[in-house]
């Protein structure tokens, strides 16, 4: 089988997606598709973790380096946790949502491996097209369909702009492979080509100023679908951005300031806009914009340390964000729906606290070490002023994150409907917290493993 063994994890996800499409004719039925998906995604995560790095497929179009391994494991784990929760609490008919999530996760894993522009575009669209449908999954909700349409239109527009930029990159370099991109003779046209290409990736990562779809799309969608859409595609989108930046930076170093401008704009706009949100979905959408800003700060250093820190932080952000949105799916999308959570479900309230503190950046959680590595890479590159801005914005973020904690422990909501216990759902949320703690404690070995 040779190098084709490298894509066995993706094939397992495709197998699970195929099972979900025909779930009504297979053992377990509708709900069983989520169990099968969670099981095969878990196996895929293990296989991706134990495979050696350094391999490639299809003439180098797919490359399996440390960043790809880290992101593939992260995507498979996030998908498995989401499917486990869906098996326990998914509302109504879920098999289509299961299939869509698995197709999206497959595209996300391929995106992390893509070492060539055409491959990247195809993987990117496979990762995001199912997300359009997940946003509008409940077709009777007009706001969900509106959000899905906004996401689709902006994504299509920015993808076309990205393809336009890639055509310039190909014209300047004579190759679609990242390793062969050379803009040394392209002048300003080379910088323009890179910026146009970044547009598509910025939109997928909801970076300012291409973030406007996210708050409306998330607010119209079901929280459990937002949990997936806001985490899995973002993780490998960061890897794709890192690959492209690392390829063009040696011959177009002026892209660093452009990334820095997008970083500062995302940090400021995301955190300040989240302050007055009363809907957890909109709050987390703007929070995602802010966290993308932190990621871009590290990428703008144009250093290997910055690239590694950005990929690590993408997973450190995704794990607690997934868990928070899954609890929101159980309690309700408004901040006021969390009133009295500690009285109803003490364990969930404390799990929520841990995940929110990780997003703020409190040790020893993954969010703290993720930000630490981001900021250290930026300081070592002379971006100390912007690190101070990032630290201040992290303090500001505590104001809106802790509003949920306040509602959970100090609010009262006697009319909140009783929630039936679900062991799979509780296990999924608990694992989000456990992995957040483990990733923080083992941050240094995780970075070394990624580099290897």
Alpha helices by DSSP H, 303-365: 304-331, 341-344, 346-360
Question: What pLDDT is attached to residue 287?
Answer: 93
Phi, psi angles (nearest 5°) of residue 270: -60, -50
C-alpha–C-alpha distance, residues 133 and 126, integer Å: 12
Question: What pLDDT is attached to residue 1?
Answer: 45
The rounded average pLDDT for each run of 10 residues, N- to C-terminus, in the chain (452 residues) is 80 93 82 91 94 85 90 95 89 85 94 91 90 80 77 85 91 88 82 88 86 83 88 88 90 87 94 91 92 94 92 94 92 88 89 94 92 94 93 93 91 76 91 95 90 74
Three-state DSSP at 64 gives strand
Cβ-proximal residues to 303 (8 Å cutoff; 6+ apart), any chain: 377, 380, 381
CB distance 104 to 231 below 8 Å: no
**Residue 116 has which token pair?**
């060539």
C-alpha–C-alpha distance, residues 5 and 184, integer Å: 37
C-alpha–C-alpha distance, residues 131 and 357, integer Å: 28
Q: Which of 112, 122, 225 is nearest to 166 (CA)?
A: 122
* Counts for the chain of helices (H) and strands (E), in that order: 19, 2
Q: In total, how many domains does the chain have? A: 1
**Residue 446 has which token pair?**
């995780």
- The conformational region for residue 2 under phi > 0 = left, psi -120 to 50 = alpha, else beta, is left
Three-state DSSP at 185 gives coil
CB distance 62 to 115 below 8 Å: yes
Three-state DSSP at 131 gives helix
**Residue 341 has which token pair?**
């959570």
Question: What pLDDT is attached to residue 241?
Answer: 92
DSSP H or E stretch at residue 62:
strand 62-64
Q: Which of 326, 408, 393 is nearest to 361 (CA)?
A: 393
Question: What pLDDT is attached to residue 419?
Answer: 77
- Angle, helix 304-331 to helix 346-360, in steps of 10 degrees: 150
For 201, the domain range is: 2-451
Supply the DSSP symbol for 30. Answer: H
């Amino acid at each position: 089988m040779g190098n084709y063994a490298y894509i066995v994890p993706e094939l397992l996800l495709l197998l699970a997606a195929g099972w979900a499409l025909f779930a009504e004719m297979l053992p377990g039925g509708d709900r069983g598709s989520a169990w099968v998906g969670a099981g095969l995604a878990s196996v895929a995560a293990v296989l991706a973790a134990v495979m050696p790095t350094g391999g490639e497929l299809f003439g180098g179009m797919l490359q399996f380096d440390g960043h790809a391994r880290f992101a593939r494991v992260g995507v498979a784990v996030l998908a498995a946790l989401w499917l486990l929760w869906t098996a326990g609490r998914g509302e109504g008919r879920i098999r289509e949502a299961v299939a869509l999530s698995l197709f999206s996760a497959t595209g996300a894993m391929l995106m992390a491996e893509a070492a060539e522009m055409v491959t990247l575009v195809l993987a990117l669209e496979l990762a995001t097209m199912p997300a359009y449908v997940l946003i509008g999954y409940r077709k009777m909700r007009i706001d969900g369909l509106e959000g899905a349409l906004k996401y689709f239109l902006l994504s299509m527009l920015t993808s076309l702009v990205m393809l336009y930029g890639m055509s310039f990159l190909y014209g300047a370099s004579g190759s679609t492979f990242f390793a062969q991109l050379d803009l040394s003779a392209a002048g300003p046209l080379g910088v323009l080509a890179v910026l146009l290409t970044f547009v598509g990736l910025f939109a997928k990562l909801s970076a300012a100023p291409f973030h406007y779809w996210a708050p409306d799309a998330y607010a119209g969608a079901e929280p459990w679908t937002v949990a997936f859409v806001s985490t899995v595609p973002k993780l490998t989108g960061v890897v794709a951005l890192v690959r492209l930046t690392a390829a063009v930076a040696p011959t177009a170093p002026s892209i660093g300031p452009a990334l820095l401008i997008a970083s500062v704009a995302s940090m400021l706009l995301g955190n300040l806009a989240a302050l007055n949100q009363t809907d957890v979905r909109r709050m987390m959408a703007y929070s995602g914009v802010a966290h993308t800003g932190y990621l871009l700060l590290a990428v703008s250093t144009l250093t290997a340390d910055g690239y590694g820190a950005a990929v690590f932080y993408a997973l450190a952000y995704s794990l607690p964000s997934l868990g928070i949105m899954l609890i929101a799916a159980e309690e309700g999308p408004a901040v006021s729906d969390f009133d009295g959570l500690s009285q109803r479900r003490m364990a969930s309230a404390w799990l929520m606290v841990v995940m929110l503190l990780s997003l703020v950046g409190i040790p020893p959680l993954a969010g703290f070490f993720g930000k630490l590595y981001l900021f250290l890479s930026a300081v070592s590159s002379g971006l100390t002023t912007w690190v101070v801005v990032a630290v201040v914005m992290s303090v500001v973020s505590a104001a809106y994150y802790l509003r949920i904690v306040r509602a959970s422990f100090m609010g009262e909501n006697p009319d909140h409907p009783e929630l039936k216990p679900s062991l799979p759902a509780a296990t999924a949320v608990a694992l989000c917290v456990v992995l957040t703690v483990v990733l923080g404690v083992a941050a240094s070995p995780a970075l070394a493993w990624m580099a290897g």
